[in-house]
Structure 1
Amino acid sequence: MSEITHSNETQANETPANETPAAVPAPAGRNRVDTGAGGRPKRRSRMRRWRRPLLLLGPVLVILVGGYFYITGGRYVSTENAYVQADKVMISAQVSGLITDVAVRENQPVKAGDVLFRIDGEPYRIALEEADAQLTNVRDDIVRLKAAYREAVEQKAIAETDIDYTRKQLDRQAMLLKRRNVSQTSFDQAEHDYELAMRHLSVTKQQIQQIEAQLGGDPNLPVEQHPRYREAKANRDRATLDLQRTAVRAPFAGIASNTPQIGQHVIGDGPTSTPVMSLVAQAGVWIEANFKETDLTHVKPGQKVDITVDTYPGHDWKGTVQSISQATGAEFSIIPPQNATGNWVKVVQRIPVRIAVDDAAADLPLRAGMSTSVEIDTGYKRPVPAMVKSALSLFTESSAALAAEVDHPR
């Protein structure tokens, strides 16, 4: 019995050489590994198939991305030290007086030529009437002088005629006196008449000269061109201008600010005039960006700019570099820096750059003083250094050799 059992076990353990043992199912929960005809896992074959492209393309991709950031690294320059600027003026009166009317409110939009406020014009109206009266008096005086000149000229002609007559009379009396046909008294009277005619002519000539001087040296000059008349007319025009200046108008369209109060006294006498209110322009705003001097190497007028305003996140403006200041901001300070001292520290200076806003939106107004961020596209591309080119060539050759070794392992 024991022999039969041993024989059966021996037969069961023996397996023919030409038979393939049955595959044992994998336990549940484990991944099944597919095998090919040669018995190698398919996953290893797939990984080996992708290894060469990855080894070739991976470093190249890294180099390309790094090269792009290197080349374009100096193309764009940006700063947040940029603010909206606009034309703004302090409105001053050109004449002195009390403010009787304020025609605008605080932050009210105004157009060019709109009345901002008015100054009491009664004193200037009275001055204009006085200037008109003075102009009329001067005109009348000139007319009288012209009439006096004509009369003096006539008197001169009469005096010259009298001289001719009295000279003849004197000569006749002298001849008769020699013949003793007239008395000495008659001769003396004739001589006296001649001297009176000469004096009358002399006085008339002096009167003509005086009148000519009062008429500006030219008696035939029109009244409107006479110096006295022109002076009086200038005074009248000045009085008219002063009266017009009592109404202070906006020099350009903008927003009124710091408006005055009725009853406020203003001084408008030239350099001593006091500012009354402010006016900020709405149109023609620009950006003043203060770039580091090291960032302006390739910045030039005409380059395009991307602008973002802190007040309006999510909205971008386009701009253009208009000009670059000829001096740093420190040069315009009240107390310029003194770099000739012993304790000197190098500080990167900032240079103002004026940027024109190309597409200002009416529904998104830009107000003076707003903070902005700007980025200038200089279009500059850094050249690839020769050392990097050599390294890139070496790296490409090494990658090719490594890929060949992977495909044909030793």
Structure 2
Amino acid sequence: MGNPKKKSKKVFIPLAAVVALAIGGAYYYYAEYSRYIKTDDAHVDSDNVAVSAKALGRIAKLYVDEQDSVKQGQLVAELDSTDLMAQKGQAEAMISQAQANQVQAEAKLAYDQENIKVLEVNLARAREDYDRAKQQIAGDVITKEQFGHIKKSYEAATAQLAAAKTQLSVSRSQIASANAAIGSANAQVGVIVSQLRNAKLYAPMDGVIAKRWLLAGDVAQPSQSIYTITNTSKLWVVLFIEESKLSGVHIGQAADFTLDTYPGVTFTGKVYAIGSNTAGQFSLIPANNASGNFTKVTQRVSVKVSIDGTRGEEPVSKYRILSGMSAVVKIIKD
């Protein structure tokens, strides 16, 4: 017969192991879930801004490339402006021609105004002669032939003044046309100057060229990205937690996180922003339950955590943290 004591020892060892595992599991659950809100649906994020052209144009020059640091206002690219410069030259020539026409029309207007003054004097004299002649012909002082000459002179003076006034109106119209042409050409030059200004592309903020999308010689479409600039001076961790856990999160709450790039290093931060919508609200095809086909899916809400320091002695500045790095975040429950 076997020894009963040995059999009891064989049974006790596995049972003790099971109890130890259960206790360890319970402690892990307590440590991980009762004290923290944990998620691995998280990554480092940053502000990313696109540099794009406002109008269609061929890229003439690229002054920076990927991983180059840039300052706000720095010239980073330039579109071909050959056609625009030619158009600007044509518009400026139109301005010069219109200005010359304006000067000529104003000189003609001044002449017409002086000429009208002379013709008005002539007409007044001719009218006096004509009125006197009508009295003289009635008294047989002058002959019909003489009266006819005086009448024709009066009619000619009247016609000359009328023609001069018509010419005055023409001169004024020519001045107005010249002014309109100058205004139109100036506006055209203004548009071209604006387009020339837009042909030079500047960095909208300090940062690093994270991506160059086009090459010199490529045709950039309006609003098409040529560069993407990342602001590396301000990084944060964005995480997405289940809506059922949101009630346990508030602004200012402490958080720890790790990065796959630096195993064993725990970084610290604080919750500083909580999304006002669930992530599903911004999906390309939002859920539509009007048809009656409904499948409940737990929604997630974005939370932003600052990057403040580490749990070790090394400062966070020692570590090269990049936008897009994967993270595991624990928000410490109050």
Same fold, TM-score > 0.5, yes or no: yes
What is the distance in 1 between the residues matched to 2:307 and 2:320?
12
Structure 2 residue 94 is matched with structure 1 residue 134: yes
Which residue does the alignment assign to 1:383? none
**Conserved? CA contact 1:307–1:372, under 8 Å:** no
Which residue does the alignment assign to 1:304? 253
**Conserved? CA contact 1:290–1:351, under 8 Å:** yes
Which residue does the alignment assign to 1:8? none
Deviation of the 1:177 alpha carbon: 0.8
Which residue does the alignment assign to 1:368? 323
Q: Give the 3 Å change call, closer, same or farther, for CA 354–206 of structure 1 in structure 2.
A: farther
Look up the equivalent residue of 1:239 and give its one-letter code.
I
Instruction: Return the match for 1:319 from 254, 258, 270.
Output: 270
Instruction: Return the match for 1:107 from 43, 60, 67.
Output: 67
Q: Give the 3 Å change call, closer, same or farther, for CA 81–141 of structure 1 in structure 2.
A: same
- Structure 1 counterpart SS, 2:297: coil
Look up the equivalent residue of 2:252 and give its one-letter code.
Q
What is the distance in 1 between the residues matched to 2:317 and 2:190?
43
**Conserved? CA contact 2:255–2:305, under 8 Å:** no
Q: Give the 3 Å change call, closer, same or farther, for CA 242–316 of structure 1 in structure 2.
A: same
Deviation of the 1:107 alpha carbon: 2.0
Q: Give the 3 Å change call, closer, same or farther, for CA 160–101 of structure 1 in structure 2.
A: same
Which residue does the alignment assign to 1:289? 239
Deviation of the 1:76 alpha carbon: 5.4
Which residue does the alignment assign to 1:251? 204
Structure 2 residue 280 is matched with structure 1 residue 330: yes
Structure 2 residue 293 is matched with structure 1 residue 339: no
Q: Give the 3 Å change call, closer, same or farther, for CA 188–74 of structure 1 in structure 2.
A: farther
Instruction: Return the match for 1:187 from 129, 140, 147.
Output: 147
Instruction: Return the match for 1:234 from 175, 187, 206.
Output: 187
Q: Give the 3 Å change call, closer, same or farther, for CA 365–240 of structure 1 in structure 2.
A: farther
Which residue does the alignment assign to 1:261? 215
- Structure 1 counterpart SS, 2:290: coil
1:330-358 deviation per Cα after TM superposition (whole angstroms, max 9, x unaligned): 12111111223444332221122344556
- Structure 2 counterpart SS, 1:255: strand
Look up the equivalent residue of 1:231 and give its one-letter code.
S
- Structure 1 counterpart SS, 2:276: coil
Provide structure 1 residue ranges, at least 5 long, that are not aligned to the other structure: 1-68, 218-222, 380-410
The structure with the greater share of residues assigned to strand is 2
Q: Give the 3 Å change call, closer, same or farther, for CA 207–371 of structure 1 in structure 2.
A: farther
Q: Give the 3 Å change call, closer, same or farther, for CA 326–200 of structure 1 in structure 2.
A: farther
- 1:111-260 alignment to 2 at 5 Å? 111-216=71-176, 226-256=179-209, 257-260=211-214
Deviation of the 1:230 alpha carbon: 2.9
What is the distance in 1 between the residues matched to 2:277 and 2:326?
22
- Structure 1 counterpart SS, 2:301: strand
Aligned residues: 297
Deviation of the 1:329 alpha carbon: 1.4
Q: Give the 3 Å change call, closer, same or farther, for CA 168–308 of structure 1 in structure 2.
A: same
Look up the equivalent residue of 1:321 and give its one-letter code.
Y
- Structure 1 counterpart SS, 2:289: coil
**Conserved? CA contact 1:305–1:374, under 8 Å:** no
- Structure 1 counterpart SS, 2:277: coil
Deviation of the 1:85 alpha carbon: 2.4
Normalised by the length of structure 2, the TM-score is 0.75
Percent identity, please. Answer: 24
What is the distance in 1 between the residues matched to 2:185 and 2:158?
39
Deviation of the 1:228 alpha carbon: 3.2
Look up the equivalent residue of 1:370 and give its one-letter code.
M
1:86-106 deviation per Cα after TM superposition (whole angstroms, max 9, x unaligned): 232333334544434332222
- Structure 1 counterpart SS, 2:324: coil
Deviation of the 1:376 alpha carbon: 4.3
Look up the equivalent residue of 2:253 and give its one-letter code.
K
Note the aligned Cα RMSD (angstroms). Answer: 3.3
- Structure 2 counterpart SS, 1:142: helix
**Conserved? CA contact 2:267–2:316, under 8 Å:** no
Instruction: Return the match for 1:85 from 12, 22, 45.
Output: 45
Normalised by the length of structure 1, the TM-score is 0.62
